[in-house]
């Protein structure tokens, strides 16, 4: 019995669509991998940004925007943990450590605000036509804010590094420091990608 030509056509179109989607995904993955080479932590960059191939496509500005999104998420996680630790049974009542953690929480909040400001600026840049001078001015603002966000995160780490603890406290200190370092590295990667936007307006 002859095969229904309509079924064959549908199968062909589905196969073609699948091939096109896969090709675009591969191209986007290659773009992310190549872009991440300019960062200080390329492996982390590729790992954290690869899930966003459909969003990033091959758009450098969207890649930087997504990198900021990742950095913001990691900073939020660190801030939540710092706040939580001030209430933990092992640390509650220790005025020195609580002050360190509160300072850290405040610094991470400042860091988050600067990253949000940077994301908004990139979004506004994409919504209008800019002259070269306007473009470079906006990118310079973003670079300044993200650099300041990194400074906030570094200040938090510096404060935590002076925290002398034993037993359970050592485990908690390692947890919060790991979260801050994660935020710092992803934010650093975002800044490196933003710097590339200044090179190629």
The yes-or-no verdict on residue 60 having pLDDT over 60 is yes
pTM (predicted TM-score): 0.83
Angle made by CA atoms 181, 154, 76, in degrees to the nearest 5: 55
What is the per-residue pLDDT for 18? 43
- Over residues 116-138, the mean pLDDT reads 92
C-beta separation of 153 from 74 below 8 A: no
Chain mean position to CA 28: 18
CATH of domain 5-199: 1.20.140.40
Confidence band (pLDDT; 50, 70, 90) for 167? Answer: low
* Mean pLDDT score across all residues of the chain: 85
Per residue in 70-107, pLDDT tens? 999 999 999 999 888 877 766 655 777 788 888 999 99
The greatest distance separating any two alpha carbons of the chain, rounded to the nearest whole angstrom, comes to 84
């Amino acid at each position: 019995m002859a095969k229904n030509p309509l079924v064959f056509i549908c199968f062909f179109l589905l196969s073609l669509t699948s091939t096109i989607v896969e090709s675009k995904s591969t191209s986007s993955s290659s773009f992310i991998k190549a872009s991440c080479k300019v960062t200080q932590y390329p492996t982390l960059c590729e790992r954290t940004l690869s899930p966003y191939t459909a969003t990033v496509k091959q758009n450098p500005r969207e890649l930087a925007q997504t990198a900021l999104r990742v950095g913001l998420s990691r900073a939020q996680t660190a801030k939540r943990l710092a706040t939580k630790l001030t209430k933990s049974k092992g640390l509650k009542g220790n005025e020195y450590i609580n002050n360190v953690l509160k300072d850290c929480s405040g610094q991470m909040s400042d860091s988050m605000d600067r990253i949000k400001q940077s994301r908004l600026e990139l979004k506004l840049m994409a919504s209008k036509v800019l002259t070269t001078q306007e473009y470079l001015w906006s990118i310079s603002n973003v670079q300044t804010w993200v650099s300041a966000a990194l400074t906030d995160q570094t200040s938090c780490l510096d404060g935590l590094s002076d925290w002398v603890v034993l037993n359970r406290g050592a485990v908690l200190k390692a947890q919060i420091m790991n979260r801050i370092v994660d935020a710092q590295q992803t934010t650093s990667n975002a800044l490196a990608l933003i710097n590339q936007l200044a090179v190629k307006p």
